[in-house]
Amino acid sequence: MKSILITLFFIFFVFDQSFGQDLVYRPKNPAFGGDTFNYQWLLSSAEAQNTFTDESEQSRDQRSDVERFTENLNNQLLNRISRTLFSEQFGEEGLREGTFSFGTLFVEIFPSGEGLVINILDTSNGDQSQVIIPN
């Protein structure tokens, strides 16, 4: 009997002195409700693990001023030539219905319920594009 009382006393004493707490999930990522101060740490950690490089940025940054000037000049020249071809083909009134050919490009222009439709077909490789100009 004495051992049972000691055992019961010991059990109640141990359980009385033990503390419990609720288990609470706290996300780390601020996008999912975590602490906003973790954002910079998560971003720097992700960038440190990123092994991909953007080759287009590297080639763009490595061009010299002369190369950029040459490219700009070529773009302006091609723009002027395309404007001249456009005005020769379509005149001053602009786009009109019909089918037109520019080298390997086949252009078809027709009105529809959506507006003026322009179908462009590159006969050299089969690429197609469609432009719709709303009414």
pLDDT reported for residue 49: 92
Report residue 16's pLDDT band, with 50, 70 and 90 as the boundaries. Answer: low
- Give how far Cα 135 sits from Cα of 33, 90, 107, 108, 113, Å: 47, 19, 20, 18, 9
Give the CA angle between residues 72, 79, 114 to the nearest 5°: 125
Give the CA angle between residues 102, 108, 109 to the nearest 5°: 120
Instruction: Tell me the pLDDT tens digit for each residue of 42-87.
Output: 888 889 998 887 776 655 567 788 888 889 988 998 888 788 777 7
Q: Domain-by-domain residue ranges, the chain?
A: 95-134
